[in-house]
């Protein structure tokens, strides 16, 4: 488990270094994800501890969102000032994105399995 | 004598705890445990989403006790730190779906990029038209992306990461509620399309809802979460420049 966490952190670190060195506006962990995927392809699949560790992390992903979300206490003013804009933008853009992606995928992948 | 000393000692302990990370960390974990218990008791009712409940309870605690977010985050940061490795860990379910992904590569990429652009551009345009300032416009751009990636994108683009976290959460809760009725109304019956749409439009919360219906939808949702993070990280800066924000 410690080995798996170390590998995840190393991927994140290398991703962060590459993103900064190249000046790309991509978060380090996202590049780390790509590096990890390449590593898994080379290795032909995750080790058992990596499978277990990633599953544990992803199954409890919700908890990891909480501290950032509590930051809402600092943004109450901004939210209140833009309440109408946000209350319209979030549902409309979400419905559009769900509909566009779903309809396009169903159309383009018809016949394929 | 003892009666006079006790409250004073307790007060000192309170001051001591407030200055360290333990209190923020423990309260986050305790509230989360309570929220998960509530979610189970209510059989995963939409209103009892543990993320929403935890945030509401913790925010209320901070406001009532006049504790600053800064003080809370001394403990909260240890939970938040794990978002980085968790993002990297998304590669594992992505790898498991690599074969399916390869077979449907072009449809996936086209639908995903279209959905990603639709989400960012429509959200930015609407808040801009309704008079929101630039930092709000930037902060809403990655709202369909999973939180760790979305916050990173907001940070890099000059938005407000904690505001982005709130937008991402609203999107997820709304998307989780409407995805199935919407697919029914639009006659989107293909499980792969449902999953890809859920993961692209409303990240993990819609994917979790779809996973209850179908494994295939869940797998495509997981794939879309990672890919949309990647696509939005690359496209959002370009879109923002293109739209002139």
Q: What pLDDT sits at residue B48?
A: 77
Q: Which of B230, B36, B224 is nearest to A30 (CA)?
A: B230
Helices (H), B46-190: 50-64, 69-81, 83-89, 91-96, 98-103, 105-129, 134-140, 147-157, 161-185
Residues B210 and B221: beta-carbon distance below 8 Å: yes
Same domain assignment for residues A64 and A29? yes
The answer, yes or no, to whether residue B108 has pLDDT greater than 70, is yes
- Structure confidence at residue A112 (pLDDT): 66
Distances (CA, A) of A27 to B58, B83, B172, B174: 27, 12, 21, 26
Inter-chain residue contact B202 with A105, CB threshold 8 Å: no
Two tokens, residue B239: 């879109």
Report the pLDDT value the prediction gives residue A84, as an integer from 0 to 100: 95
Q: Show Cβ contacts of residue B105 under 8 Å, excluding neighbours closer than 6 positions.
A: none
- Is B67 a residue whose pLDDT tops 50? yes
Provide mean pLDDT across the span A66-71: 88
B47, pLDDT greater than 80: no
Q: What's the mean pLDDT in B10-29?
A: 85
Q: Please give the backbone phi and psi of residue B68, each rounded to the nearest 5 degrees, phi first.
A: -80, 155
DSSP, residue by residue, B223-243: HHHHHHHHHHHHHHHHHHHHH
Higher pLDDT, B121 or B208: B121
Q: What is the mean pLDDT of chain B?
A: 89
Lowest-pLDDT range of B94-103, B130-139, B185-194, B236-245: B94-103
Q: Is the pLDDT of residue B13 over 70?
A: yes
pLDDT value of residue A17: 95
Whether residue A113 sits in one domain with residue A64: no
Q: Measured between beta carbons, which residues in chain A are less than 8 angstroms from residue B111?
A: 100-102, 104-105, 108
Cα separation of B96 and B89, whole Å?
12
Residue with tokens 């594992």: B92
Using DSSP's 3-state secondary structure scheme, residue B67 falls into coil
Q: Which residues lie below 8 Å from residue B107, measured CB to CB, with a gap of 6+?
A: A104, A105, A108, A109, A112
| CA distance to partner chain A, nearest, from residue B141 (Å) | 10
Sorting pLDDT into bands at 50, 70 and 90, what band is B4?
low
Decide: B220 and B192 in contact? Cβ < 8 Å: yes
Distances from the Cα of A62 to the Cα of B86, B102, B191, B204, B205, angstroms: 11, 29, 24, 9, 9
Put simply, the answer to whether B127 touches A82 (Cβ < 8 Å) is: yes
* pLDDT of amino acid B1: 45
Residue found by looking up tokens 């403990």 in the block: B75
Using CA atoms of A52, A54, A55, A57 in order, give the dihedral in degrees to the nearest 10. Answer: 120
- Shortest distance between the Cα of A19 and any Cα of chain B, in A, equals 11
Q: Tally Cβ neighbours within 10 Å of residue B122.
A: 19
ipTM over 0.95: no
Q: Between these two residues, B127 and B104, which has the higher pLDDT value?
A: B127
Provide the residue ranges of all domains of chain B, joining segments of one domain with +: 2-81, 88-243
Asked if residue A80 and residue A108 are part of one domain, the reply reads yes
Q: Do B194 and B185 meet the contact criterion of CB atoms below 8 Å apart?
A: no
Which tokens go with B18? 């407030």
Contacts of B37 (CB under 8 A, 6+ apart): none
Taking residues B149-172, report their average pLDDT.
Answer: 89
**Average pLDDT of the segment spanning B206-222:** 83
Cα–Cα distance measured from residue B67 to residue A112, given in angstroms and rounded to the nearest whole number: 55
pLDDT tens track for B172-213: 989 988 999 999 999 999 999 999 999 999 988 888 788 888
pLDDT of residue B5: 54
Global pTM value: 0.80
Nearest to A52 by CA among A11, A97, A2: A2
Percentage with pLDDT > 70 across chain B: 97
Q: Which of residues 54-113 of A touch B (CB under 8 A)?
A: 54-55, 57-58, 61-75, 78-79, 82, 84-86, 88-106, 108-110, 112-113
Domain ranges, residue A109: 71-113
Number of domains in chain A: 2
pLDDT at B21: 87
Q: Is the pLDDT of residue B136 over 60?
A: yes
Chain B contact for A52 (CB, 8 A cutoff): no
**Would you say residue A113 has pLDDT above 80?**
no
Q: Do A58 and A89 belong to one domain?
A: no
Same domain for A34 and A59? Answer: yes
């Amino acid at each position: 488990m410690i080995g798996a966490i170390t590998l995840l952190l190393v991927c994140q670190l290398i991703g962060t270094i590459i993103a900064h060195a190249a000046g790309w506006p991509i978060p380090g962990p996202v590049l780390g994800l790509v590096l990890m995927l390449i590593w898994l392809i080379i290795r032909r699949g995750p080790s058992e501890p990596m499978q277990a560790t990633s599953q544990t992390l992803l199954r409890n992903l919700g908890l990891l969102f909480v501290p950032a979300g509590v930051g809402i206490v600092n943004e109450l003013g901004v939210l209140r000032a833009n309440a109408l804009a946000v209350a319209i933008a979030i549902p409309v853009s979400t419905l559009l994105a769900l509909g566009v992606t779903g309809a396009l995928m169903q159309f383009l992948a018809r016949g394929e399995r | 004598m003892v009666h006079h000393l006790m409250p004073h000692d307790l007060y000192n302990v309170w001051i001591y705890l407030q200055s360290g990370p333990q209190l923020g960390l423990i309260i986050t974990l305790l509230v989360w445990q309570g929220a998960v218990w509530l979610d189970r008791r209510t059989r995963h009712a939409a209103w009892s989403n543990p993320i929403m409940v935890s945030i509401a309870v913790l925010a209320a605690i901070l406001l009532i006790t006049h504790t600053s977010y800064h003080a809370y985050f001394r403990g909260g940061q240890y939970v938040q730190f794990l978002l980085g490795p968790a993002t990297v860990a998304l590669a594992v379910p992505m790898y498991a779906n690599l074969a399916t992904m390869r077979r449907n590569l072009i449809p996936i990429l086209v639908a995903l990029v279209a959905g990603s652009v639709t989400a960012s551009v429509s959200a930015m345009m609407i808040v801009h038209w309704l008079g929101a300032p630039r930092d709000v416009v930037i902060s809403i751009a990655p709202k369909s992306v999973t939180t760790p990636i979305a916050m990173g994108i907001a940070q890099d683009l000059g938005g407000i990461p904690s505001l982005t976290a709130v937008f991402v959460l609203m999107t997820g809760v709304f998307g989780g509620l409407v995805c199935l009725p919407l697919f029914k109304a639009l006659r989107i019956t293909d499980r792969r399309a449902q999953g890809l749409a859920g993961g692209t439009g409303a990240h993990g919360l819609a994917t979790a809802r779809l996973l209850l219906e179908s494994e295939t939808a869940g797998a495509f949702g997981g794939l879309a979460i990672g890919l949309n993070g990647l696509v939005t990280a690359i496209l959002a800066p370009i879109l923002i420049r293109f739209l002139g924000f």
